[in-house]
Amino acid sequence: MIGWRPHTTSTNTASTRLRCVLPMRYLASAGTPGEFADQSQPGRYSVLVAEKAYSEADLDLATRARASGAAVVFDLCDNHFLPRDEDRKDPARRERLARMLSLADVVTTCSDELARRIDHPRVLVVDDTLEDWSAVKPPGPITHFRNFRARMQRGARLVWFGAGGRIDPPFGLVDLERIRPELDTLHKRLPIVLDVITDSRDRAQETLRGAQFPWRFVRWRLDTFPHMLARAEIALLPVKIHEFTVGKSANRVLTALALGVPVVADPLASYRPLERFVRFGCTADTIEAYWRDEAARERDVEAARAHLKLEWGPERAVRQWSQAFTEARRARG
């Protein structure tokens, strides 16, 4: 039995879904049962997975599970080694992080770049599990309109989606703010409408205050998100690359492509393996050229979805997590 200990059990949190709930489900279907770890029964598990979880209660569970013979896998899909906003209120956070690292037989993470930044003898890359969006049907052709002239009058329907993020370290809506001048320039040449799918109306309004193009806040909800995203013609995924964002996974690019939405992004390392399906460079020129080339967008999405079906199905999650568990048990002895 695998015990899964996410830092939150809310399925509104992407890492809980992609690095706990979905792997647990797929592994169970493949014959490896799992459950949310029971604090009172640490001896129940052959492997304990702590997903970004290193509170005192998490450390206590990991210590007792290890004493009962379990292997411990510590899963990190963000760079928690950098100073964070919450350190002012929780100065012991980094000390707890170090303690969980010392308890871990294996550390799993979401990207090669983040793996290079983790000081542990056994670090394995386990990709974010791709959510199954097959039941979500795009609302028609990418263009949504019957003829080019009608689309020109309406303009381009763009979308940005992601967490509101923070300033320290900077990620999330600050990246959209960075390309706002490009979108202002684009709107002078090609009318655009931008949907912003995120968790904070206030941050969205602050980010786009003074924007010279129409935009709409769409509150992120798991049940409506895929349908709202699938309406767009292009997803914009700008990322300023620094020590926090460099280790991010390709999850947002994969999600957009899986839902049939072409992508313009910045060249994050984890996006590079998908570059034949994506346009890099969130500039007015790049976005406009891609929007006007409908055939290229359709080709890219069709090829991407075929690739995802072949390479990113449940089998990938089962294979990678099973390897991590095997390595953790071997290290445990």
2-130+313-332 with 148-311: one CATH topology?
yes
Res 315 pLDDT > 80: yes
What is the torsion angle, in degrees rounded to the nearest 10, for the CA atoms of residue 200, residue 205, residue 211 and residue 215?
60
pTM of the model: 0.91
* Angle of helix 56-67 versus helix 93-103 axis, rounded to 10: 20
Q: Which of 274, 248, 265 is nearest to 113 (CA)?
A: 248
Q: How far is CA 137 from CA 132, 140, 142, 158, in A?
A: 12, 8, 12, 18
The domain 148-311 having CATH identifier 3.40.50.2000: the answer here is: yes
Instruction: Find the helix or strand (DSSP H, E) in which 65 lies.
Output: helix 56-67
Q: Return the amino acid letter for 168.
A: D
Q: What is the pLDDT of residues 27-46, one digit of tens each?
A: 999 999 999 999 999 999 99
Q: What per-residue confidence (pLDDT) applies to 152? A: 45
307 or 151, which is more confident: 307
pLDDT tier at 135 (50, 70, 90 boundaries)? low
Interatomic CA distance for residues 265 and 253, integer angstroms = 8
Q: How many residues does the chain have?
A: 333
Confidence check: pLDDT of 148 > 80? no
Q: What is the pLDDT of residue 87?
A: 82
- Give percent of the chain with pLDDT exceeding 90: 84
**Angstrom distance (rounded) from CA 253 to CA 263:** 7
**pLDDT bucket at 283, cuts 50 / 70 / 90:** very high
Q: What is the pLDDT of residue 139?
A: 52
Q: Which residue has the higher pLDDT, 144 or 229?
A: 229
Angle at 99 between CA 164 and CA 326, to 5 degrees: 90
Confidence of residue 181 (pLDDT cuts 50, 70, 90): very high
Per-residue pLDDT tens over the stretch 75-91: 999 999 988 877 888 89
Q: Cα–Cα distance between 237 and 91 in angstroms, integer?
A: 33
Angle between helices 22-29 and 314-332 (to 10 degrees): 90
Rounded CA-CA distance 261/231 in Å is 8
What is the domain partition of the chain in residue ranges? Answer: 2-130+313-332, 148-311
State how far the Cα of 85 lies from the Cα of 65, in Å rounded to an integer: 31
Across the range 104-119, mean pLDDT stands at: 97
Domain with residues 2-130+313-332, CATH architecture: 3-Layer(aba) Sandwich (3.40)
